Chains A and B, each alone.
Chain A
Amino acid sequence: MSPTRRSLLTASVGATLMPALPRLGRAQAANTIRIGVLNDQSGTYRDISGPYGVECTRQAVQEFGNKGFNIEVLSADHQNKPDVGANIARQWYDQGVDLIIDVPTSSVGLAVNNVAREKNKAYINTGSATSDLTGAQCSPTTVHWMYDTYMLAKSTGGAMVKAGGDSWFFITADYAFGHALERDTTNFIKAAGGKVNGGVRYPFPATTDFSSFLVQAQSSRAKVIGLANAGADTINSIKQAAEFGITRRGVKLAALLMFLPDVHAIGLQTAQGLVLTESFYWDLNDRTRAVSERLKPRLKDIKPNMASIANYSCTLHYLKAVADMGVAAAKASGVDAVNRMKAMPCDDDAFGPGRIREDGRKLCPSYLFEVKSPAESKAPWDYYKLLQTTPAEEAYRPLNEGGCSFIRS
């Protein structure tokens, strides 16, 4: 990774950027649950959650209401850097934060996972995609709430192969997330009898021009170009693929992780016809429309996507568990709090009924969407049509295949 302007500053300013916590009296602190929203507030993943994820968390706190204890929401920017993220997490947990949520960027998500395990504090990841969070690196303090690379690979990758895309070329962001997404998708391609013609791993986040990789993909004669990246990288890849006329000549693009704001940024003219997977769409059913409407005063003219609204969903469930087990017990042990969450069924307007599996995997259905053409779109943010639904129990990697250390198979 080349030094960006932000990384030049991080070394010197990082420490002072840490948000200071308000001092509470001892009795008051004992009766206050503190939730830290740690995400990207200034970089490529900001619009996926960032300040909107914080607002969704606040909405959950507001809807939960007063159940006899205080709730505080803090937020910080991890700048997509594992060291910065781990430092903030460490400081937060030491200063009495009971739960850290969000944490996009898999490398940061895994770093914070280690801190939470070490300190026996609750951690709900809604922003990272690596399926290792409930596999090789699983932890009894961790819940993985939203999409993971296995679920994305199965839904989007599986559908592409079924539609005849049996040879692939990967354009992969060169860090934990990209590697995991490429690995999981490759497994599905091979299991379905397809093959991988090749791939490139490009430096993250210092790459803006993807034309070279797209031309390499084209000369590999693969039928599908798998984009194992996210955020601005995906946007640039899709824009430039259209520019080079790649999709016009029969090659399909598989945007393996893409969110509603990305479609908004590309515009329907270029994005139409892409298939992608999300667990949430504001216009999916009456409940999703209702919660999106309630969020309107907070998000203004932005619609929530599966990443930002996952903060709403997981905060509600955590607070219900706290109310159930008592504030003192929830503060004392992250493992106990997470176990209580696993024991209780989930239900909210964003994702409907669901549950958390023993390895920390939250189960909810995944939806395969196709992006509408400009003619089909009737209103702002009217972008998706539903192609296929994978039920919650089938959407994620089976429990005994993850290699999680505390699961006896």
Chain B
Amino acid sequence: MDSFLDLIETISGRPAPLLFGQLLLGLINGAFYAMMSLGLAVIFGLLNIINFTHGAQFMMGAFAAWMLLEWAGLNYWWALVLVPIVIGFTGVVMERLMISRLYKLDHLYGLLLTFGLGLIIEGVFRNQFGSSGLPYRIPDQLQGAWDLGFMFLPVYRGWVVIAALILCLATWLVIEKTRLGAYLRAATENAPLVQAFGVNVPRMVTLTYGFGVALAAIGGVLAAPIYSVNPQMGTNLIIVVFAVVVIGGMGSILGSIITGFGLGIVEGLTKVYYPEASATVIFVIMAIVLLARPAGLFGRA
């Protein structure tokens, strides 16, 4: 074992414990990327809308958790259940009132609409709550840290990875293995035909958007205790997550999950070797992937 660690240290030029720690942290960030890009991929797969409001909806999730705690006295676990329902419902309303009018037009219109809505939502929250953010404590049950030998892993971060994995797996199973998922996939291929079989496609589309938004909102709740809950918290994330979706292949569910975790790890390693580039490395990879495989790693050309 010791010689194995020595080998790693010789190859990487960094102490092995540090490297393991960074891989684990990368995996944790990857969990957020995976969860967020999953929502984007589901929405794009069925609606053909590039949902640029996703970052704002992630932020709304975090704020909703804070409001439940401060104004209604409902703790983190309630937030985990209630917030996706409430924010998902706002998504349903948005889809019905605005986005549904754009399906016949070019992708660009949907992108501009959701982008604009995202900016407006962010602005309203900034006006109301300021930019420096609100405190949100880690729930008591998830306080503390495990000593893994090579690093201290906060219990909460471990919980984030587990929660993200469960959500991703469940979503993938529903879409790939159930009858409902089969309808969804069929509607993506040929909506009029599915409608002819008596399936209410518009309602399915609306609920899918609501589900994608709910995923973003859960991400927000999970993020609230570790990141500052502030209006711009989704802004940086959305661009990275969008790159993840492009690398994974637009609309590919499994692709976005695997790419999310993978890029989290790549980013984590960049933070050890050349931290200055840690915000750019994902875009460099995106450019290379687009040149080599324009449809993305898991996409169908």
**Residues of A at under 8 Å CB distance from B?**
1-6, 9, 42-48, 50, 174, 200-203, 205-209, 211-213, 215-216, 219, 231-232, 235-236, 239-240, 243-245, 261-262, 264-267, 269-270, 302
Q: A-side binding surface: helix, strand, loop or mixed?
A: helix
Q: B271 contacts A213, CB within 8 Å?
A: yes
Alpha-carbon distance between A267 and B239 when the two chains are bound, in angstroms: 29
Contact flag A215-B25 (CB < 8 Å), given A44-B131, A46-B130, A232-B132: yes
Q: Which residues of B contact A205 (CB under 8 A)?
A: 236
Instruction: Kindly supply a per-residue 1/0 record for chain B positions 220-236, scoring 1 wherever the CB is within 8 Å of any chain A CB and 0 otherwise.
Output: 00000111101011011
Q: B18 contacts A202, CB within 8 Å?
A: no
The one of A2, A207, A239, A265 in contact with B132, judged by C-beta atoms closer than 8 angstroms, is A265
Alpha-carbon distance between A212 and B23 when the two chains are bound, in angstroms: 9
Alpha-carbon distance between A62 and B135 when the two chains are bound, in angstroms: 35
- Binding stretch for chain A, among B72-80, B197-205, B244-252, B273-281: B273-281
Q: A209 contacts B131, CB within 8 Å?
A: no
Q: B279 contacts A47, CB within 8 Å?
A: no
Q: B22 contacts A265, CB within 8 Å?
A: no
Alpha-carbon distance between A239 and B227 when the two chains are bound, in angstroms: 7
Q: B235 contacts A6, CB within 8 Å?
A: yes
Residue of B nearest to A171 (CB): B275
Task: Decide yes or no whether B145 CB sits under 8 A from chain A.
Answer: yes
Alpha-carbon distance between A203 and B115 when the two chains are bound, in angstroms: 24
- Binding stretch for chain A, among B34-42, B95-103, B151-159, B165-173: B151-159
Q: A44 contacts B154, CB within 8 Å?
A: no
What is the number of contacts between chain A and chain B, taking CB atoms within 8 Å?
139
Shortest A88–chain B CB gap in Å is: 19
| Interface set, chain B 79-118, CB cutoff 8 A to A | 115, 118
Residue of A nearest to B269 (CB): A212
Q: A232 contacts B228, CB within 8 Å?
A: yes
Contact flag A219-B18 (CB < 8 Å), given A2-B279, A202-B275, A245-B154: yes
Residue of A nearest to B15 (CB): A219
Q: A5 contacts B131, CB within 8 Å?
A: no
Q: B131 contacts A232, CB within 8 Å?
A: yes
Q: B235 contacts A244, CB within 8 Å?
A: no
Q: Which residues of B contact A261 (CB under 8 A)?
A: 130, 132
15 example contacts (A-B, Cβ-Cβ < 8 A) are as follows A2-B236, A5-B118, A5-B119, A46-B130, A46-B131, A203-B279, A203-B280, A206-B279, A213-B271, A232-B232, A235-B133, A239-B228, A243-B157, A265-B228, A302-B130
Q: A43 contacts B236, CB within 8 Å?
A: no
Task: Decide yes or no whether B237 CB sits under 8 A from chain A.
Answer: yes
Q: A212 contacts B272, CB within 8 Å?
A: yes
A231, A244, A270 interface centre (most CB from chain B within 10 Å): A244
Q: Which residues of B contact A200 (CB under 8 A)?
A: 271, 275
